């Protein structure tokens, strides 16, 4: 039995979204599961001194061209959300809350949230909007709205983010497979080869 | 007759080196020439607020793992130079000086300098080391050493760098094909598809 691929992401990350449309099929090809772990990328950026891509001179303009082009390259939908980047506390907390009850449902919720935000351009910053997406998966809206304000769920996300940073995670998407780190939607080809050949 | 692919790079850029090992074959596949244009990336970083990758917390450590791994993925040699990043004024000036006399020789010189720095791990910061690499292409060492101190050659590199920044170039490698920008060795696949299908 092989270990799952750890997939770290922030729901505000467009390249995280692009990777979210690819990683399950890639993993399945190699008989691997995927462990979807939302984090708060802002905490890692405090360590690296990074800032949101779209706000950087020149790079921001380029990235606004690159993101939809990369999506067309992959053949997946892409819509710019009204605000970028958004705060993703509610979305990430909802996934961990759900995960402790039903890991596969949490996985579906994470995919649905990413799709809502970047596939349909919806703003998922507000808990109510997260709940609306969750409701399509028959997750109770009121339970979710309470959960994302619960101290233990808040702490859980903090702890998960801290643990990810400890492992060297500083970007989104970020993958760790058998201890080997891969950063970026543009490392999926290399991750694929790595799994195929057991390293290179 | 189609326009050449403009290939912007800084000799201090490891991902620029990786791209330098691939771009000629990629372009030839599509009947394109490549216009190799060294720039001083530091000038662009003043605009973007960027800093040398290897000096960034967490990202630096990751990049030191990613660079040789990417090289193995491509099947090209990679050796860490003793100092990273180096100042590449002499190397870049030498290429422009050579280019006005013999564009194909300038192309060979640029490839040889990149290979010396990242394929063999040699320090090409000093003009004497640039001249040594050039000498293997039968470029006169003394002429080159004089040229890289000539005011008009210095100005030429400044002007080329300024013109690149005006075009939106902020990283290395950076490609522009028919007005479309691609940044990164990890966009070569998309550049390939773009040339194949005339856009996507």
What is the predicted pLDDT for the residue at B47? 86
Residues in A touching B57 (Cβ below 8 Å): 47-49
Question: What ipTM, to 2 d.p.?
Answer: 0.95
What is the predicted pLDDT for the residue at B44? 87
Asked if pLDDT for residue A8 goes beyond 80, the answer is: yes
What is the C-alpha separation between B101 and A136, in angstroms, rounded? Answer: 67
Asked if pLDDT for residue A18 goes beyond 80, the answer is: yes
Q: Is there a contact between A181 and B62 if contact means CB atoms under 8 Å apart?
A: yes
Q: Quote the minimal CA–CA distance from B164 to chain A in Å.
A: 12
What is the C-alpha separation between A70 and B143, in angstroms, rounded? Answer: 46
The tally of CA atoms less than 13 A away on the side-chain side of residue A79 is 11
Percentage of chain B modeled with pLDDT above 70: 100
Q: Calculate the average pLDDT of chain A.
A: 96
Asked if pLDDT for residue B130 goes beyond 90, the answer is: yes
Q: pLDDT per residue over A164-174, tens digit each?
A: 999 999 999 99
Query: Quick one: pLDDT band at residue A200, thresholds 50, 70, 90?
Result: very high
pTM of the model: 0.96
Kindly list the distances between the CA atom of residue A188 and the CA atoms of A16, A70, A116, A166, A196, in Å, as whole numbers in the listed order: 11, 13, 22, 23, 12
DSSP B54: G
H-type alpha helices, A30-167: 41-48, 59-74, 89-99, 103-114, 127-135, 141-147, 151-166
Residues in A touching B165 (Cβ below 8 Å): 58
Kindly list the distances between the CA atom of residue B164 and the CA atoms of B10, B37, B38, B141, B173, in Å, as whole numbers in the listed order: 12, 9, 10, 28, 12
Strand order in B34-38's β-sheet?
B34-38, B5-9, B174-177, B180-183
Kindly list the distances between the CA atom of residue A171 and the CA atoms of A46, A115, A174, A185, B83, in Å, as whole numbers in the listed order: 12, 19, 6, 11, 26
Asked if pLDDT for residue B2 goes beyond 90, the answer is: no
Nearest to B200 among A61, A73, A183 (CB): A73
Asked if pLDDT for residue A145 goes beyond 90, the answer is: yes
């Amino acid at each position: 039995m092989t270990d799952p691929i750890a997939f770290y992401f922030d729901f505000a990350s467009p390249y995280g979204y692009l990777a979210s449309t690819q990683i399950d099929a890639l993993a399945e090809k190699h008989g691997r599961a995927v462990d979807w772990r939302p984090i708060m990328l802002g905490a890692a950026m405090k360590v690296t001194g990074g800032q949101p891509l779209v706000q950087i001179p020149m790079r921001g303009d380029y990235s606004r061209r690159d993101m939809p082009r990369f999506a067309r390259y992959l053949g997946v939908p892409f819509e710019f959300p009204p605000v970028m980047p958004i705060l993703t506390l509610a979305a990430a907390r909802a996934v961990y809350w759900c995960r402790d009850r039903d890991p596969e449902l949490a996985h579906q919720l994470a995919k649905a949230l990413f799709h809502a935000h970047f596939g349909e351009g919806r703003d998922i910053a507000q808990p109510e909007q997260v709940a609306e997406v969750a409701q399509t998966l028959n997750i109770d809206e009121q339970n979710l709205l309470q959960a994302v304000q619960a101290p233990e769920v808040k702490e859980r996300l903090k702890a998960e983010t801290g643990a990810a940073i400890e492992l060297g995670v500083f970007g989104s998407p970020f993958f760790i497979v058998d201890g080997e780190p891969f950063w970026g939607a543009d490392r999926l080809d290399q991750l694929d080869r790595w799994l195929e050949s057991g390293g290179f």
